[in-house]
Amino acid sequence: MPIGVFDSGLGGLTILEALRRALPGQDFVYLGDNANAPYGPRPPVEIYDLTIAGVARLFEEGCGLVILACNTASAVALHDLQVNWLNPAAHRVLGVFVPVIEHLTRRDWGDNTPPTHTGLRDVALFATAATVQSGAFPRELRFRARDVTVVPRACVGLVEAIEAGELAAAALIARDHVEALLRHLPAPQSAVLGCTHYPLVEAAFRAALPRATTLVSQPALIAASLADYLGRHRRFEGGSGAVSYLTTGDPAAVGARARVFTGTALPFRSA
């Protein structure tokens, strides 16, 4: 059974690459909603509707499990999708926040005991405007860890520059956003790259942050979390390592732009 990977654009390819390394025998179907990217500036109701449409399309492809490799969709749409739309007996949808919060707080997601002192103090969050405005990340973090300061920064313009392949310009944008955040939180204990596009300019974030700050990037955490999940939910496993690529945009153009993320063009087909 293939596992679906959904993103608003091409940033989720950073997650898919990590998933394929961790689970080489698993089949995947990737769907980028490139016709509607980026999601960050969109209102919540649009993000919800677009996420539902993308997940439903992956269900049509035979995916029993879908990973929302889009932080904006995970922050804005996932909870309501799971509560009001999804039939968990038939399908499952997982987001990308949970593994990061588990990593930061050293607590399993199913641990619903009151928040404790985990040693975590100051966290910088770099994300899209919609992710920041949702408040989902600091809310979930504070359910598990006491006395944590979260300072978010909406990295306006960064996804657009990365999707356009303008990585030098994107690195400068990332640096500017780090410098702006550090004016409010000069020495964050941890910094989270809360968008799947941002690993492409991770070096720029790292160079602009204090050396003592731990930088948390999602792909490896998501891959390890999915491997653990499949160990407990074997019905979603299967395949021979096949991957297919769908897009709501122009397949040839999107496939060519994928080179920025993977180093090679990819055979996208129309969703």
Of the listed 23, 52, 55, 70, which one is catalytic? 70
What DSSP string describes the chain? --EEEEESSSTTHHHHHHHHHH-TT--EEEEE-TTT---TTS-HHHHHHHHHHHHHHHHHTT-SEEEE--HHHHHHTHHHHHHHT--TTT-EEE-SHHHHHHHHHT--TT--SPPB--S--EEEEEE-HHHHHH-HHHHHHHTTBSS-EEEEEE-TTHHHHHHTT-HHHHHHHHHHHHHHHHTT-SS-SEEEE-STTGGGGHHHHHHHS-TTSEEE-HHHHHHHHHHHHHHH-GGG---SS-EEEEESS-HHHHHHHTHHHHSS---EEE-
Q: Is 79 annotated as a binding residue?
A: no
* Closest by Cα among 107, 31, 105 to 69: 31
Is-catalytic flag, 195?
Answer: yes
Q: Is 248 annotated as a binding residue?
A: no
190 is in an annotated binding site: no
Tell me which of 148, 195, 266, 271 is the catalytic residue.
195
Q: Is 49 annotated as a binding residue?
A: no
CA–CA dist 222, 103 (Å, integer) = 10
8 is in an annotated binding site: yes
Does 84 show up as a binding residue in the annotation?
no
Annotated binding-site ranges: 7-8, 39-40, 71-72, 196-197
Annotated binding-site ranges for substrate: 7-8, 39-40, 71-72, 196-197
Provide the annotated active-site residues. Answer: 70, 195
